């Protein structure tokens, strides 16, 4: 009993529950509900609020799940809460006891769980996957994904496909190896693994399966052994082609000259596959079906992890869309991941002048951080200015697709950086960057920019500018609404066609969470978790003045229309 594969498959259309990250495994974050719409959203009021408590309130990036009258959320520091959706009262709480010495790069966040059968699944900052009893919060099983002392951690929502819990890993800043893992949902047995860096072997049922790529085809020497490519944002699943799609982060170290990627090479031998790529994976075996590398010869920390959303375009073609950290919005073919188009979704991209007809960037070589080995003292390579910044034209915060308009709604940021390279050698559990950087806003009056993008043309239909960088997820509805939140604390509903702000509510702390909506006893509810944090306050450089006054927090806000 409990949540079935059919419930998960139909999560987008079953409006009384939300059992997957992305409100459906396509991650469209689109609800067919229209009870709440452009005409009445102005009347939306809070139904209840719930505090996550705790002494240390840090970034709350979670997406709530809703099942059988209960809301399940994860919180900072690997906590889980079950809340009665009618009253907002707590039913149970699970607090993972974390060891000293965990090494998350970018705040102690968690982006949510998954429900299957009678269990709730989520990952912890010490790189474990935990299955909890839905009713009691008791641990059913708990498995180590990888060694936190080597820099591995876990922050993404798991993905359930066919009785398997599919997860990635974090740790790209520590020279880990990005990997996708599939566990048996019932007992936590490892079914298969798929490394993202060429030369590493996958496993299936406890035995070696196939090698990822070809050893030393695109990596020099032993660099592949600590090659990065963390799968830290999880994945999507395309039921039409039975394909898992995971992204791989930056190759390690950041200093591209150490990876043979610094200079254009014959046969693209310095591409460093499959870092900074999207990879299509067979969910049964873990074998790679296709790959598309957004940033070959990566040198700016343009992780390739951003979500890949299966959708149908305005002419009826089945496509994938992804808005990469490198500033380009890509459309790929659903069958084989083949390149269809790429258009800039932020202004001022300086590392590439465009994307050619094969999908390969046209590099601006002088905007690659310089080689320290070529400098006078061998200690610091030439400092260059590159845009977007390493936090990306878009970071982890998920975009949404609207079946109402056929457009994507992309939370983006307009910023660049000064960046330089330094020498570095790998040491277990130590930062493995070989780079220094300072982020700079590109405009005085805004960094954040929510954009409505027509995926067929790349045209920006409307834009909403925000002073601070946008760091929260987006949701669309059949009622013609686009929801998102800002670091300044505002939770906003926009008109999906015009971008007009139709409603907003001040939540009291910065929003870096992901909105959801569902229906309960004939009423439509909307929820968002508020609680400022994530990478921006840690790494934001000159962006600090736009965010250093913001208060931390940790509240679930749930809204509905007043009873008639
Ligand atoms: N996490 C955030 C956040 O939640 O605000 C922002 C980032 C991460 C980044 O900008 C990263 O580059 C990043 N990289 C890794 C990695 O390479 O393993 C992991 C994470 C993470 O797990 O949160 C982030």
Nearest to 171 by CA among 44, 305, 289, 266: 305
Please state the pTM of the whole predicted model.
Answer: 0.98
Distance 81 CA to ligand 1 centre (A): 23
Cβ of 391 less than 6 Å from ligand 1 = yes
Distance 122 CA to ligand 1 centre (A): 17
Cβ atoms of 528 and 491 closer than 8 Å: yes
The whole-angstrom separation of Cα 241 and Cα 193 is 20
Beta strands in 201-248 (DSSP E): 201-204, 207-211, 235-238, 243-248
Please, which pLDDT band fits residue 540 given cuts at 50, 70 and 90? confident
Handedness of CA 96, 97, 102, 106 (dihedral sign): positive
pLDDT digits (tens, 9 = 90+) for 183-206: 999 999 999 999 999 999 999 999
pLDDT for 1: 78
Cβ of 106 less than 6 Å from ligand 1 = yes
Residue 312 has pLDDT above 80, yes or no: yes
pLDDT digits (tens, 9 = 90+) for 513-529: 999 999 999 999 999 99
The mean pLDDT of 361-387, rounded to a whole number, is 97
Residue-wise DSSP of 380-448: -PPPEEESS-TT-SS-SSPPEE-TTTS-EEEEEE-EEEEEEE------TTS----EEEEEEESSSS-SE
Determine how β-strand 516-520 pairs with β-strand 201-204.
unpaired
pLDDT for 563: 83
pLDDT for 290: 98
Q: Is 301 a catalytic residue?
A: yes
What are the beta bridge partners of residue 257? Answer: none
pLDDT digits (tens, 9 = 90+) for 58-83: 999 999 999 999 999 999 999 999 99
The whole-angstrom separation of Cα 29 and Cα 472 is 13
Query: Whose C-alpha lies nearest to ligand 1, atom 23?
Result: 106
Residue 564 has pLDDT above 80, yes or no: no
pLDDT for 217: 98
Q: How many CA atoms lie within 13 A of 313 on its CB side?
A: 18
Among candidate residues 126, 238, 271, 301, the one labeled active-site is 301
Distance 497 CA to ligand 1 centre (A): 32
pLDDT digits (tens, 9 = 90+) for 278-306: 999 999 999 999 999 999 999 999 999 99
The whole-angstrom separation of Cα 379 and Cα 436 is 12
The mean pLDDT of 99-120, rounded to a whole number, is 97
Please, which pLDDT band fits residue 541 given cuts at 50, 70 and 90? confident
């Amino acid at each position: 009993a409990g949540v079935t594969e059919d419930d998960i498959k139909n999560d987008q259309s079953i409006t009384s529950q939300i059992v997957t990250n992305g409100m459906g495994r396509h991650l469209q974050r689109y609800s067919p509900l229209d009870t709440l719409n452009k005409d009445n959203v102005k009347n939306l009021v809070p139904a209840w609020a719930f505090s996550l408590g705790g002494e240390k309130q840090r970034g709350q990036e979670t997406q709530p799940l809703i099942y059988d009258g209960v809301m399940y959320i994860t919180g900072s520091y690997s906590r889980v809460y079950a809340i009665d959706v009618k009253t907002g009262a707590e039913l149970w709480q699970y607090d993972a006891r974390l060891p000293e010495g965990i090494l998350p790069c970018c705040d102690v966040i968690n982006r949510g769980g998954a429900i299957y059968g009678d269990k709730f699944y989520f990952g912890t900052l010490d790189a474990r996957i935990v299955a909890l009893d839905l009713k009691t919060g008791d641990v059913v099983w708990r498995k180590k994904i990888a060694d936190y002392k080597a820099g591995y951690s876990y922050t993404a929502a798991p993905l359930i496909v066919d009785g398997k819990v599919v997860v990635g890993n974090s740790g790209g800043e520590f020279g880990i190896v990005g990997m996708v893992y599939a566990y048996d949902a019932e007992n936590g047995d490892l079914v298969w693994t798929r490394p993202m860096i060429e030369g590493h072997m996958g496993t299936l049922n406890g035995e070696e399966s196939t090698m990822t790529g070809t050893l030393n085809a695109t990596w020099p020497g032993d660099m592949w052994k600590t090659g990065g490519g963390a799968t830290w944002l999880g994945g999507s699943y395309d039921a039409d082609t039975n394909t898992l799609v995971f992204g791989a982060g930056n190759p390690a170290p950041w200093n591209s000259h150490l990876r043979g990627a610094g200079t254009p090479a014959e046969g693209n031998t310095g591409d460093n596959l499959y870092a900074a790529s999207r990879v299509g994976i067979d969910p049964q075996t873990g074998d790679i079906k296709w790959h598309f590398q957004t940033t070959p010869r990566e040198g700016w920390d343009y992780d390739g992890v951003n979500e890949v959303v299966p959708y149908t375009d305005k002419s009826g073609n089945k496509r994938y869309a992804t808005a990469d950290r490198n500033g380009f919005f890509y459309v790929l073919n659903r069958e084989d991941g083949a390149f269809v188009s790429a258009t800039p979704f932020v202004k001022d991209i300086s590392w590439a002048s465009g994307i050619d007809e094969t999908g390969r960037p046209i590099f601006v070589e002088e905007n690659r951080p310089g080689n320290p080995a070529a400098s006078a003292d061998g200690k610091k390579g030439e400092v260059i200015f590159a845009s977007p910044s390493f936090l990306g034209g878009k970071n982890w915060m998920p975009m949404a697709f609207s079946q109402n308009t056929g457009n994507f709604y992309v939370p983006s940021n307009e910023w660049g950086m000064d960046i330089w390279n330094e020498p570095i050698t790998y040491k277990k559990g130590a930062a493995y960057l070989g780079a220094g950087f300072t982020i700079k806003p590109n405009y005085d009056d805004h960094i954040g920019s929510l954009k409505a993008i027509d995926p067929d043309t790349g045209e920006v239909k409307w834009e909403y500018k925000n002073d601070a960088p946008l760091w929260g997820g987006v949701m669309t509805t059949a009622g013609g609404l686009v929801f998102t939140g800002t670091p300044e604390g505002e939770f906003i509903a926009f008109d999906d066609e015009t971008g007009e702000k139709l409603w907003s509510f001040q939540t009291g702390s910065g929003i870096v969470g992901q909105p959801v909506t569902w229906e309960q006893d004939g009423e439509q509810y909307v929820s968002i978790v508020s609680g400022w944090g994530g990478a921006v306050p840690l790494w934001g450089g000159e962006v600090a003045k736009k965010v250093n006054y913001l208060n931390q927090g940790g509240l679930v806000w749930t809204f509905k229309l007043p009873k008639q």
